[in-house]
Structure 1
Amino acid sequence: MNHPLNAFVKDRIGYLELNRPEKRNALNSEMVVALKGGIQNFNEDKEVKIIVIKAAGKVFCSGADLKYLQSLQSNTYEENLADSRSLKDLFYMIYTSPKVVIAEIQGHAIAGGCGLATVCDFSFSVNEAKFGYTEVKIGFIPAIVKVFLIRKIGEGKAKQLLLDGDLISAAEAKEMGLINWIVEENELENKVFTYAQKLIKQNSGQSMALTKEMIAKVQERSLDDGLEYAASMNAKARGTADCQKGIAAFLNKESIQW
């Protein structure tokens, strides 16, 4: 049996490739655990500056493995809660990773698979891909991703996706703010690589990590608390090695090697 995930590093990019193409890369416990381990390893790897989540086969991710879900229906509430928390932890790890995470979407991203794409920081998709949260059509609910989706695209658009359950085109997904860029299939891999290299070479990894952390934390604060938090982070950033290095290089008209 194939391992559910391929992990490798190329030019400071940590790749995590979903590897259940025969199951349309459906998420089961093994896949979720493997993804969490891959994210954790790349978070701790100082050589890795960007993480890319991609997939083998024609489908990016079809969501939860329904046969696996069916097998859980005889579980106790506590057993199902533990399984659900594992997926919650994966989405949280991606959203709060200090590394920028890019989704490379070569095919349909549906239900939990759409959720996986949603929690990434950036996403490149082929035009042929479809997106959507179909859970309500089978008596399930898009529970965990809802927390992230409302943050990403707002309540009104989230309601449209989550309550009608229909699939939308890549163009519609881009218009909603669900994905960032649509590219030709034969250019997808190179476009993602080129963009990742741009971030690697032009930006401080420390600065991107702090900025990403602030985006996650500032939204739950009041205006006063948010501004005080921002001021404290501003002061903290001034003392970092990357800020000192970057400003000195800029003033000396030197190129910065990040």
Structure 2
Amino acid sequence: MKNLVLYSVEDRIATITINRPEKRNALNPDLVKALTNAFIQAEEDDLAKVVVLNANGGTFSAGADLEYLQQLQYNTFEENVADSNNLKKLFTTIYYLPKVVIAQVEGHAIAGGCGLATICDIVFATPESNFGYTEVKIGFVPAIVSCFLMQKVNETIAKEILLTGKIFHAEQALKYNLINFVTNSSEIHLKVREFALSLCKESSGNSLMITKQLINQTTKPLLEKTLETAIQINARVRESEDFKKGIASFLNKEKINW
């Protein structure tokens, strides 16, 4: 069975690679679990000081897997709460990881894929990369990721992004403060490596860990409470008629008339 996530370490840089290119690296429960385990492995790996998250293929992540979305329609409320908790665990594992996490976004990062990029500490993207939280277009809500997004962008921008579900390019994401650098595709691997190596060579690992903790704890003191609310909202929305209508139309590639 193919590994959904690849893990390697070189020069104190742990690289975690999403390895589902035939599905545009779409998220499903197995991939969410594999990513969570890979980040836990990076946390415990004494050879790793900095972590890079990237993806194989031409898409960073297209969001939720179609089969996964279809299954959500038949989940009980309790099953949807458990599923939302799994996504929360992945996001919080990355967010609280005591090592700096750098996202290398090549291609599109949409919905849950955009969420993955959002929670990383530093984000590099190519000019061709597109971003977007498209959940509202299929009767869903970007509940969990919104808890993190609000600390990266201001409320005006967050409402524009989340309420319209629009797709925007990397330069716009840079203006929104959603990402840090836009780098040509021919150079992004080198630039990410140079940035990661500079952290490894020029900064104390303990200081990096404590500084990241300081930023997280002072900017989001109520994060856990907010996430618990988001999980309940996530589960409730999945029981709505709009969600069922949106998923059915999306799966059948039909235009949705809201």
Alignment gaps of 5+ in structure 2: 223-258
Query: C-alpha displacement at 1:220, in angstroms?
Result: 4.5
Query: C-alpha displacement at 1:34, in angstroms?
Result: 0.5
Q: Distance in 1 between matches of 2:219 and 2:22?
A: 40
Number of equivalences: 222
SS at match of 1:151: coil
The letter for the 2-side match of 1:140 is F
Q: Distance in 2 between matches of 1:199 and 1:220?
A: 24
The letter for the 2-side match of 1:102 is I
SS at match of 2:150: helix
Alignment of 1:149 onto 2:149: yes
Equivalent residue number for residue 69 of structure 1: 69
Equivalent residue number for residue 225 of structure 2: none
Larger relative contact order (Cα-Cα within 8 Å, sequence gap ≥ 6): 2
Q: Distance in 1 between matches of 2:221 and 2:123?
A: 27
Q: Distance in 2 between matches of 1:220 and 1:197?
A: 28
Q: Distance in 2 between matches of 1:139 and 1:220?
A: 28
Equivalent residue number for residue 139 of structure 1: 139
Change (3 A) 1:179 1:220: closer
Q: How does 1:56-135 map to 2 (within 5 A)?
A: 56-135=56-135
Q: Distance in 2 between matches of 1:154 and 1:127?
A: 23
Q: Distance in 2 between matches of 1:61 and 1:220?
A: 26
Change (3 A) 1:198 1:143: same
Q: C-alpha deviations, 1:116-154, integer Å up to 9, x for none?
A: 000000011000010010000011110100000001112
Query: C-alpha displacement at 1:72, in angstroms?
Result: 2.3
Alignment of 1:43 onto 2:65: no
SS at match of 2:104: strand
Equivalent residue number for residue 203 of structure 1: 203
Equivalent residue number for residue 6 of structure 1: 6
SS at match of 1:63: coil
**Range 15-24 or range 1-10, more displaced:** 1-10
Q: Distance in 2 between matches of 1:101 and 1:87?
A: 17
Equivalent residue number for residue 188 of structure 2: 188
Q: Distance in 1 between matches of 2:221 and 2:14?
A: 33
Query: C-alpha displacement at 1:221, in angstroms?
Result: 5.5
SS at match of 1:210: helix
Q: C-alpha deviations, 1:13-50, integer Å up to 9, x for none?
A: 11110011011000001111011101001101121000
Q: Distance in 2 between matches of 1:79 and 1:157?
A: 32
> What is the identity percentage for the equivalent residue pairs of Structure 1 and Structure 2?
50
Give the CA RMSD over aligned residues. 1.2
Q: C-alpha deviations, 1:95-128, integer Å up to 9, x for none?
A: 1110000000111000000000000000110000
User: With structure 1 as the length reference, what TM-score do the two structures score?
Assistant: 0.84
Q: Distance in 1 between matches of 2:101 and 2:54?
A: 11
Alignment of 1:20 onto 2:8: no
Query: C-alpha displacement at 1:171, in angstroms?
Result: 0.3
Q: C-alpha deviations, 1:179-226, integer Å up to 9, x for none?
A: 10011101111110010000000000100100100111112459xxxx
Q: How does 1:156-195 map to 2 (within 5 A)?
A: 156-195=156-195
User: With structure 2 as the length reference, what TM-score do the two structures score?
Assistant: 0.84
The letter for the 2-side match of 1:130 is N
Query: C-alpha displacement at 1:69, in angstroms?
Result: 1.8
Equivalent residue number for residue 253 of structure 2: none
Runs of at least 4 residues of structure 1 off by over 6 A? none
SS at match of 1:95: helix
Alignment gaps of 5+ in structure 1: 223-258
SS at match of 2:151: helix
Query: C-alpha displacement at 1:2, in angstroms?
Result: 2.1
